[in-house]
Amino acid sequence: MKNKNEIKILKNRSIIKFEGKDFLGEVGIDGRIFKALTYARISVGVISQQAVENGISVLVNESDSEKAVNCLIEEFENERKSGKVSQIFSINNVSVLGFVAPDFNKIMSELARNNIFPLILNQVLAENRINLVVTSSQDEKSKNIIEAEIFSKPKTVHLAIIGHGRVGSTLIDQVLQKSEDIRNRKKIDLKIVAVANSRKIAFNKDGFNANWADEVSVAEEKSSVESLIHFSQLHQLENLIVVDNTTSKDFVKNYTRLADNGFDLVSSNKIFNTAPISEYRDLRNVLTKKNKKYLYETNVGAGLPLIDTIKLLHLSGENITRIKGVFSGSLSYIFNNFSVREEKFSTIVKEAIEKGFTSHDPREDLSGNDVAKKLLILARELDLTNELTDINIQSLIPEKLGKLNKNEFLNSLDLLDSYFEEIKKNQKENHVLRFIGELHGDLQQEKGELDVQLISVPANSEIGQLKGSDSIFKIYTENYGENPLVIRGAGAGAKVAARGVFGDILRLSENK
């Protein structure tokens, strides 16, 4: 290779595989292979010997592959009859990449992370020179990955954003606003190449820009994970991350297939992490096997650095004994305001909806389900095996309101007013209402105790002083003793949630 700063790519090649037993190292075999190919006027490229499989592979132009196989079959007719040579065949549609790289192991692991496993690998150690043979459907992707590694070029990370509601659309805008800065500072080129909602999916292999919503509105392709996988393969996209910003039960069923097809996963959707424990463990096993990552920091506390903190404490052996707090941003807003303002409960619930703090259907929050899910997600981070059904949940909505459709429910909100007015009035002096989650019990056992309930607390207590839509998480551990580690801040809202998702994307991208 003349120029060291070049990745040479030879397309339209075939591997001729010559397999058998006990002939490796036998004098004359290699010579006969080359002689036969030379007589047939076939030029031979990269050569490799597989001691374990007992075979020899040579590379030829694809147009010569049939001729090469036939002339070797003829040359080794006797050995084929005796069984010494078992197979002579070709693998077509391959490309050779030749380059010089000091850190070959890093390149191999980057390729593997992108589901690229070279068919032949030829290394001249002294010169750091490497030839790789890959299928042609992966040659451009391999080239991009190798280039980013050896020339320290910005590495491109391809993002598929599923769900462009409040969090998803805010995330897209945040990524587009920061992408140039990230390219300059971190050498990571974030490209949003797919955006989907429940009906359709839009693709742009060069990356969407500020007009992304217009492109999505005219897209015609039906939303499906198959088309996303097909698109990523067709354009040989490397460093893939799929971001689930939906509330969909169905979409989480695709996680395993996406991981299988080379995608890392980021999710603000809590559904997967609250699935039955067997499913929860199955996906984690697949992720481990496939060396894929799954980050979900925004599942609890939106953008607050909570899950990471709990994971690290637990991993480092710190014995977490209790977690207590206000887990819901919307219920925080509702009770922080309702407790101190002379307003009807329903008016404040409507404010929380307008501010984008509640779930799409606010009953998910008011029923206590959302807090229960968050509590369960934290419990499972501590390796507890609780299920959603183990949680004692105090719902804030009467059963009959739970049965209405969403609009009917929203029109009936004032039916809640007198009930909550009564609760507010019956508190002790200087007390306020708070909706809390608590994980307690002996957390060294298989399961912990999980409670979700409305309580009345002194207004001057730590939880009583909460403002706005802030969440608070008090993490008690053996070493922190009676003074828990406290994490507090905005617990809901599209901007903070999207920022948290963005953080997960960057964490994955930096390790790509």
Ligand X SMILES: N[C@@H](CC=O)C(=O)O
Ligand Y SMILES: NC(=O)C1=CN([C@@H]2O[C@H](COP(=O)(O)OP(=O)(O)OC[C@H]3O[C@@H](n4cnc5c(N)ncnc54)[C@H](O)[C@@H]3O)[C@@H](O)[C@H]2O)C=CC1
Q: At what angle do helices 345-354 and 329-340 cross, to 10 degrees?
A: 140
| Residue with the shortest CB distance to ligand X | 330
Q: Tell whether residue 305 is a contact of ligand Y (CB under 6 A).
A: no
Question: 62, 14 in Cβ contact below 8 A?
Answer: yes
Does residue number 163 form part of the binding site for ligand Y (CB under 6 A)? yes
Alpha-carbon distance of 496 to 468, in angstroms, equals 14
* Contact status: 261 vs ligand Y (CB under 6 A): no
Question: Taking CB under 6 A as the rule, which mask of x and - marks residues 226-255 in contact with ligand Y?
Answer: -------------------xxxx-xx----
Binding mask 171-210 for ligand Y (x = CB under 6 A): -------------------------xxx------------
Q: Which residue has the tokens 């132009």?
A: 61
Give which of 296, 226, 281 is closest to 258, Cα–Cα: 226
d(CA 180, CA 190) in angstroms, rounded, equals 9
Which residues lie below 8 Å from residue 304, measured CB to CB, with a gap of 6+?
471, 473, 487, 488, 489, 490, 491, 500
Contacts of 328 (CB under 8 A, 6+ apart): 365, 370, 371, 374, 435, 471, 491, 492
Residue type, 247: T
Single residue of 95, 264, 493, 504 touching ligand Y by CB under 6 A: 493
Q: Are strands 155-162 and 188-196 parallel, antiparallel or unpaired?
A: parallel
Q: State the number of binding residues for ligand Y (CB under 6 A).
A: 31
Binding-site member from 156, 204, 298, 339 for ligand Y (CB under 6 A)? 298
- Say if CB 367 and CB 397 are below 8 A apart: yes
For ligand X, the binding residue among 115, 122, 359, 367 (CB under 6 A) is 359
| Distance (Å, whole) CA 35 – CA 248 | 62
- Residue 366 as a binder of ligand X (CB under 6 A): the answer is no
Q: Reply yes or no on whether 374 is catalytic.
A: yes
Binding of ligand Y at residue 448 (CB under 6 A)? Answer: no
Nearer to ligand X, 262 or 491 (CB): 491
DSSP letter assigned to residue 153: P
Among ligand X, ligand Y, none, what does residue 328 contact (CB within 5–8 Å per kind)? ligand X
Q: Which of 374, 406, 425, 467 is catalytic?
A: 374
One residue of 357, 420, 476, 502 binding ligand X per CB under 6 A: 357
Token readout for 379 is 């419990």
Residue 232 within binding range of ligand X, rule CB under 6 A? no
Residue 223 lies near ligand Y (rule: CB under 6 A): yes
| Catalytically active residues, by annotation | 374
In the complex, which residues of this chain contact ligand Y (CB under 6 A)?
162-168, 196-198, 223, 245-248, 250-251, 268-270, 298, 302, 329, 356-357, 359-360, 492-494, 497
